[in-house]
Amino acid sequence: MKKQRFSETQIASILKQYEGGREALELCREHGISKATLYNWRKKYAGMDSSHIRELKALQDENRRLKQMYAELMLDHQLAKHIISKKVIKPCQKRELAESVIKEQSISVGRACRVIHLQRSLWYYRSGKDDSAIIDKLSSLADRFPTRGFDKYYAIIRIEGNKWARSRVLRVYREMNLCRRRRHKKRLPSRIKEPLQKQLLPNQSYSMDFMSDSLVSGRKLRIFKVVDDCTRESLAVWCDYSITGQKVTEILEQITAERGKPLQVRVDNGPEFTGKAFSEWCSDRSIIIKYIQPGKPMQNAYIERLNRTYREDVLDAYLFESLEELRILSDEWQHGYNHLMPHQSLNNQTPAKAHQSACRGHFI
């Protein structure tokens, strides 16, 4: 049966007839309604005339509309809280944010655009510009001239005959984040791989290296160490907050005053060893500097083995409150290592004993 919609006047008239004494079954048959509908009308609108019923229905509609409006505002508020921490300025950024909100919250495009304040036309707009040639050109220039800026790049582009507008090239330049200066690699001369050679006499070759650690307070420390490649003696373990190339030469000056100068030293490519102070000190004393290849610490294996022992016995075994505490422990460790610790490559002799044997010509 086709559903009918009764007006307020009709409902009031039916209820008035029912209250006047007419049978409910007769009224229901006459107007085509069920007895449940009649009793619901009586429960809601008993004692009301048509104007009162009209006002009640209007209030119910208004209440339903306000509830729907409140629900929509609450949803918009939740979306706003979700995106308020994200800084968006450009329309392309707003479009990306709208895409993520639609995907995560499963809302309509219209609602997302309204909350983010993005025009619907910008949502559907797709640029037809092709900047691939400019991107390739700027990438090649940045790789070739990493320390130059936009003005220099654009001048080169114009010299080569490209007619791209400056504003367009600048826009692509900024989108590629090339305005941030790139850190380029330090250029080192090519290092020749030279295998470790077993030294037959002491004071022929020294190996040197740095280690890092920190105090309990978090302050950084550096440790400079020197080893004799022949006898494996630890010649220096100097700890300080900062060790420059000048300080390295002072420590080596003390060692050479006691033992004599070596023929060569093996070092890595750190700034202390490639600097002017160390290079000139070695050159003035005719000491050959053997640089290992960058990233190849195994080419300086003698000092790396000493580093491991020192770290296990001292750095990993104690917590240091002060620099002086580390220096005392390092001196005690160096004395024990040289005079008490046998070395397998020295036929289980201590480094000090091996030095004495080599000086007498009996070192194997």
Instruction: List the beta strands (DSSP E) in the chain.
Output: 205-214, 220-228, 234-240, 264-267, 288-291
Q: Work out the percent of the chain whose per-residue pLDDT is above 70.
A: 85
φ, ψ at 2 (rounded to 5°): -65, 130
Asked whether residue 6 is domain-assigned, the answer is no
Please write the tens of the pLDDT for every residue from 326-351. 999 999 999 999 998 888 888 888 98
CA distances from 222 to 145, 186, 254, 319 (A): 35, 22, 19, 15
209 and 353 co-located in one domain: yes
Alpha-carbon 70 to chain mean position: 41
What average pLDDT score do residues 287-300 get? Answer: 89
- In angstroms, the CA 212 to CA 331 distance is 17
Asked whether residue 56 is domain-assigned, the answer is no
Asked whether residue 230 is domain-assigned, the answer is yes
As for how many domains the chain has, the answer is 2
pLDDT at 2 > cutoff 50: no
Buried b (16+ CB within 10 A) or exposed e, 72-82: eeeeeeebeee
287 and 145 co-located in one domain: no
pLDDT at 1 > cutoff 50: no
pLDDT for position 95:
79
pLDDT for position 210:
94
pLDDT for position 308:
93
What average pLDDT score do residues 198-217 get? Answer: 90
**CATH code of the domain containing 350:** 3.30.420.10
140 and 225 co-located in one domain: no
Q: Work out the percent of the chain whose per-residue pLDDT is above 90.
A: 36
Alpha-carbon 147 to chain mean position: 23
The candidate with the shortest Cα–Cα distance to 41, out of 62, 19, 63, 68, is 19
pLDDT at 253 > cutoff 90: yes
- In angstroms, the CA 38 to CA 18 distance is 9
Local structure of residue 313 (DSSP, 8 states): I
Asked whether residue 270 is domain-assigned, the answer is yes
Record the tokens describing residue 250, joined without a space. Answer: 């002072």
Domain of 223, in residue numbers: 205-359
Asked whether residue 67 is domain-assigned, the answer is no
Please write the tens of the pLDDT for every residue from 18-76. 776 777 777 787 777 887 887 787 777 766 666 666 776 777 778 788 777 776 766 66
156 and 300 co-located in one domain: no
Tally of CB atoms within 10 A around 52: 13
- In angstroms, the CA 44 to CA 53 distance is 9
pLDDT at 212 > cutoff 80: yes
One-character DSSP codes across 321-338: SSHHHHHHHHHHHHHHHH
328 and 248 co-located in one domain: yes
Asked whether residue 210 is domain-assigned, the answer is yes
244 and 148 co-located in one domain: no
As a residue count, the chain comes to 364
137 and 227 co-located in one domain: no
315 and 227 co-located in one domain: yes
Q: Which residues contact 68 (CB under 8 A, 6 or more apart)?
A: none
156 and 211 co-located in one domain: no
Q: Which of 175, 195, 226 is the last residue of a domain?
A: 175
What average pLDDT score do residues 240-247 get? Answer: 93
Residue 238 DSSP SS3: strand
pLDDT for position 49:
62
214 and 167 co-located in one domain: no
CA distances from 358 to 198, 252, 305, 354 (A): 13, 22, 21, 6
- In angstroms, the CA 44 to CA 41 distance is 5
Asked whether residue 282 is domain-assigned, the answer is yes
Tally of CB atoms within 10 A around 182: 12
Q: Which of 7-21, 298-312, 343-357 has the highest mean pLDDT?
A: 298-312
Long-range interactions of 176-181: CB distance < 8 A, separation 24+: 176/135, 176/138, 176/139, 178/138, 178/142, 178/150, 179/150, 181/146, 181/147
CB 332 within 8 A of CB 344: no
- In angstroms, the CA 97 to CA 93 distance is 6
pLDDT at 251 > cutoff 60: yes
- In angstroms, the CA 113 to CA 116 distance is 5
pLDDT for position 319:
92
Region of 218 on the Ramachandran plot (φ > 0 left; ψ -120 to 50 alpha; else beta): left
151 and 260 co-located in one domain: no
Region of 117 on the Ramachandran plot (φ > 0 left; ψ -120 to 50 alpha; else beta): left
Please write the tens of the pLDDT for every residue from 123-181. 777 777 788 899 999 999 888 888 888 899 999 999 999 889 999 999 889 888 887 66
Record the tokens describing residue 79, joined without a space. Answer: 């979306």
What average pLDDT score do residues 82-96 get? Answer: 66
348 and 210 co-located in one domain: yes
pLDDT at 249 > cutoff 80: yes
Asked whether residue 33 is domain-assigned, the answer is no
Location of structure tokens 């920190």: 214
